[in-house]
Amino acid sequence: MKLTVIQSDITTVKADAIVNAANSSLLGGGGVDGAIHRKGGSAILDACRAVRAKQGKCNPGEAVVTTAGNLPANYVIHTVGPVWNNGGKEKEELLKNCYINSLKLAIENEVKRIAFPNISTGIYKFPKNIAARIAVEAVKNFNQDKIEEIIFVCFDQENFELYNELLKNENK
Ligand code: ADP
pLDDT tens digit sequence for 62-113: 999 999 999 999 999 999 999 999 999 999 999 999 999 999 999 999 999 9
Q: Which amino acid is it at 119?
A: I
171 domain residue, yes or no: no
Q: How far is the CA of 160 from the centre of ligand 1 (A)?
A: 13
Dihedral sign from CA coordinates of 84, 167, 157, 64 = negative
Determine, yes or no, domain membership for 168. no
Q: Domain residues for 150?
A: 2-162
Residue 169 inside a domain? The answer is no
Q: What element of type H or E holds 103?
A: helix 89-108
Read off the CATH number of the domain in which 130 is found: 3.40.220.10
140 C-alpha to ligand 1 centroid (Å): 22
- The number of domains in the chain is 1
| Ligand 1 centroid to residue 171 C-alpha, Å | 26
Residue closest by Cα to atom 10 of ligand 1: 122
% of the chain residues with pLDDT over 90: 98
Please state the atom number of ligand 1 nearest to the C-alpha of residue 81. Answer: 3
In a domain, 76, yes or no: yes
